[in-house]
Amino acid sequence: MTNERQQSGDSPRFRITEIRVKLTDDPRNKLKAYCSVTIDHAFVVRDLKIIDGNKGPFVAMPSRKLADHCPRCHHKNHLRAAYCNQCGTGLDPDRAPRDARGRSQLHADLAHPINSATRIEMHKAIVQAYAQEFEAAQRDGDQYKPKSFDDLDALSDMVDDDYIEELERRQEERDRRRRTPDGRSDGLASGAAE
């Protein structure tokens, strides 16, 4: 769907000019859709995800699993691996870095807003575009023509439970910070904390 958006007067530095949404096929999937956003007709970010969270749909930024190197052969393994994929050395499956509250961080965002205003703006626009696409699919039934994202169609539709849990935790963390007086600095520290 091409979703041209009006420039809103209060966000002159950031304008999403197009949002494309590709719904996933399986309604039981927590991953509801992929989307891409275009910024100022000039820059596209793909592989954002819309995830059905406990408190409704939310937007996940493009991300990658974190990995580290095997101490013996230097091969890269994901942080939950109990054995090196290359040489079989036993690894501590609980070695992921932990946040201030002791919970492990297994993924990092590759592109993301660095302040709350931008994140809220993006979230609203994307969730709205998703809702429109979802309604179109319901309304048109067999006539509905899903978008083709070509190479994105080849991506896996599965997101692992660890990731969803991590995202929901971050979301709750943000909500919590927003309610505190220093909540305005939210997200500026680092991508991982964002």
Nearest-approach distance from CB 65 to Zn ion, in angstroms = 17
Nearest-approach distance from CB 91 to Zn ion, in angstroms = 8
Smaller CB distance to Zn ion: residue 50 or 70? 70
Nearest-approach distance from CB 87 to Zn ion, in angstroms = 3
CB contact set of 168 (below 8 Å; sequence gap of 6+)? 53, 54, 58
Residue 176 corresponds to which tokens in the numbers above? Answer: 């919590």
Smaller CB distance to Zn ion: residue 69 or 124? 69
- Cα 167 to Cα 192: distance, rounded to the nearest angstrom: 11
Nearest-approach distance from CB 66 to Zn ion, in angstroms = 17
Tally the residues of the chain: 194
**Footprint of Zn ion on this chain (CB under 5 A)?**
70, 72-73, 75, 84, 86-87, 89
Nearest-approach distance from CB 86 to Zn ion, in angstroms = 5
Smaller CB distance to Zn ion: residue 87 or 117? 87
Smaller CB distance to Zn ion: residue 65 or 74? 74
Smaller CB distance to Zn ion: residue 93 or 98? 93
